[in-house]
Structure 1
Amino acid sequence: MPQHPRTSLLALALTSGVTALLLTGCAGWQERVCMPDEDPVLAVNSSGSGCVAEDEEPAPGWTRYPEGKVPVHLDDKWDRYWSDKTVDENGRIVPQPQ
C-alpha cells in the first residue's frame, strides 16, 4: 500500500529534527547562574558570588549586581565581566582583591 505524500514529509521532518538535536548536543542550552526564583549576588570587596531568593535581601557583606550588569548564564557576557571585578561598600565597581 503506497504512503500518502504528507505522511512521508512529516516523517522526514521529524527524523531531521531529531537528528539535528542529537548532532548539536542541545547547543542552545546554557547553565543558569541561579535558579529561576533567585537573584545572583556578589560579595562586597571580595571575589565571592552566590544566589538569594528574589524576595529576600542579601546577607550583610553581600549585594545584588548593578542593574543591567547581572549574569544570567555561566560564561555569559556579565559572568565573564565580573570574573575580575566586584563592588565596594559604596557600590562602585572595583578590581577584586588579590
Structure 2
Amino acid sequence: MSTPRSAHRPTAVRKFALAAVAAVAAARVLTGCAYEEDICNTGEYPVMTVGGTGSACVRNEEQPPEGYVRYPEGKVPLKVDDTWDVYWRTHTLDENGKIIDAP
C-alpha cells in the first residue's frame, strides 16, 4: 500500500521553511549583521522618562511630553544597542537633570 502524495507535503514544507531560515541566518553571518536599527524614525528624536528607563520618540517640531526629557547632549542613543542605548538601560536622569543609576 502506497502513501498518498499529500502525506509528503508537510515534510516538504518543513524542509522549505528550514532552508529559508538557514538562508536568512547565512545572509546575516555573511553581512556581519551590518543592519543597525535606528532608535527613532526620520523626523523624530529620542526622549527618556525622568527617573526611569522608558523612552519614546517625538516629532522634531514638538517638545517632549510631560514626564519625558531630551537625552543629555552627546549622550543620545541613535541606534538600537549602540553605546548610549545600552548605557541608558541602567541609568536615568533625576528631576534636576542629574544622571543617576536607574531604580
TM-score (ref. length: structure 2):
0.68
Runs of 4+ residues deviating >6 angstroms: none
Change in CA separation of 1:22 and 1:91 when aligned onto 2, cut-off 3 Å = closer
Unaligned runs of 5+ in 2: 1-26
CA-atom RMSD in angstroms: 1.7
Aligned amino acid, residue 45 of structure 1? G
Matching residue of 1:37: 43
1:60-86: CA deviations, max 9, x gaps? 110010000000000001101111001
Query: Equivalent pairs: percent with the same residue?
Result: 44
Is the partner of 1:80 in helix, strand or coil?
helix
The alignment covers a number of residue pairs equal to: 77
Structure 1 residues not aligned, in runs of 5+ = 1-20
CA distance 1:59–1:27, shift in 2 (3 Å) = same
Structure 1 CA distance for aligned equivalents of residues 73 and 94 of structure 2: 15
In the alignment, structure 1 residue 72 sits paired with structure 2 residue 70: no
Alignment partner of 1:83 is 2:85: no
Q: Secondary structure at the match of 1:78?
A: helix
Match of 2:61 among 37, 47, 55: 55
